Amino acid sequence: MTTTQTRSWYKRNEIAITPWLFLLPGLFFFAMYVIIPIFQSFWISLYEWNGLGKLSEEGEWVGLGNYERLLGGDRKFETSFWNNLKWLVLYLLAIPMGLGISLFLNQQVRGIRLYKSLFFFPFVISQVVVGLVFSWFYLPREGLLNAILSWFGSDGVNILGDPATATYGIIAAGLWPQTAYCMILYLTGLNSVDPEQVEAARLDGAKGHRMLWHVILPQLKPATFIAFVVTIIGALRSFDLISVMTNGGPFGSTRVLSFYMFEESLSEYGFQMGYGAAIAVILFLIMLVFIGYFLWSMYQDEKGAR
């Protein structure tokens, strides 16, 4: 009796309920592991707490104290912030570089698949391996870079040991896989370029740069958008390379916000959960600018499609 009633109620509302049933597991885990922790971080950032014992018992309420300390002249924070900006700007070089390589590889030659996969290779290997390879490459005494420089009679350089160059050295390592990623995005994009439009442009006398700029690139806009998104995200989560290559050093000059957060709250000597959470919140707000932009432009696209 009851079963038929429930079933019939479900039958009546099936169309409305089924999508939610399918969404439920995803929503649950998304809330559990993403949404709720975001608000927990906000909350923890208002306390001074060493991460051991319960927040309600061991934590000391300091209000906005952590933020005052962070924004009121914490030099480690300033270094990390500027390094984050360097990462954001320089990492974008992966997009034109990826485009260049994909244009170069977008041709029918014998064995082109092999060349493509060789160019894609750095993206397949782990970031940790990339970091290790590059840190050996940069080693001051036995590194390949200094061996090459010495052929040209140049003195040895210690890229990762010099606070002025270390961050750029790590970004260069990061660009290697990121360029490969952008390249693959553009290669698939180039497949869907309309040959008729190219033909038509050619009849109208477009060549070289003009062809690229006015005919090809507009058609690659979706690929460019995705490349931009993944590169920005990649730049902001540049944690593993720094950890492997310099461990934030020399004397903290290669820290970025995510690494600084880890150091303050979770590392060997880090017992400042509240302060770490405050850094995480600031990083989140910076990311929010980009996330907002991405959502807005996707929304505009959807509207246009309708």
Contacting residues toward another protein, per CB under 8 A: 50-53, 58, 75, 139-141, 158, 160-161, 246-247, 249-252, 263, 266-272
For another protein, the closer of residues 50 and 219 by Cβ is 50
For another protein, the closer of residues 74 and 233 by Cβ is 74
Neighbouring C-alpha atoms within 13 Å toward the C-beta of 9: 5
What is the distance between the alpha carbons of residues 17 and 13, in angstroms, rounded to a whole number? 6
For another protein, the closer of residues 59 and 177 by Cβ is 59
For another protein, the closer of residues 174 and 276 by Cβ is 276
CB of 91 to another protein, least distance (A): 24
CB of 50 to another protein, least distance (A): 6
Place of tokens 């590194």: 143
Tell me which residue of 192, 178, 185 sits closest to 237, measured CA to CA. 178
For another protein, the closer of residues 68 and 301 by Cβ is 68
CB of 268 to another protein, least distance (A): 4
Beta bridge partners of 61: 47
What residue type is 270 in one-letter code?
Answer: G
CB of 298 to another protein, least distance (A): 38
CB of 161 to another protein, least distance (A): 4
Q: Which two tokens stand for residue 272?
A: 């400042």
Q: Phi then psi for 154, rounded to 5 degrees?
A: -85, 150
CB of 55 to another protein, least distance (A): 12
* All residues at 6 or more sequence positions from 175 whose CB lies less than 8 Å from its CB, including other chains: 90, 91, 93, 94, 97
What is the distance between the alpha carbons of residues 88 and 94, in angstroms, rounded to a whole number? 11
For another protein, the closer of residues 145 and 223 by Cβ is 145
CB of 36 to another protein, least distance (A): 18
For another protein, the closer of residues 100 and 270 by Cβ is 270
What is the distance between the alpha carbons of residues 260 and 276, in angstroms, rounded to a whole number? 8
Q: Which two tokens stand for residue 220?
A: 């690659």
Q: Tell how far CA 252 is from the center of its chain.
A: 21
CB of 131 to another protein, least distance (A): 13
- DSSP per-residue string spanning 67-86: HHHHHTT-HHHHHHHHHHHH
For another protein, the closer of residues 155 and 302 by Cβ is 155
Q: Which two tokens stand for residue 145?
A: 């870079």
Q: Tell how far CA 180 is from the center of its chain.
A: 14
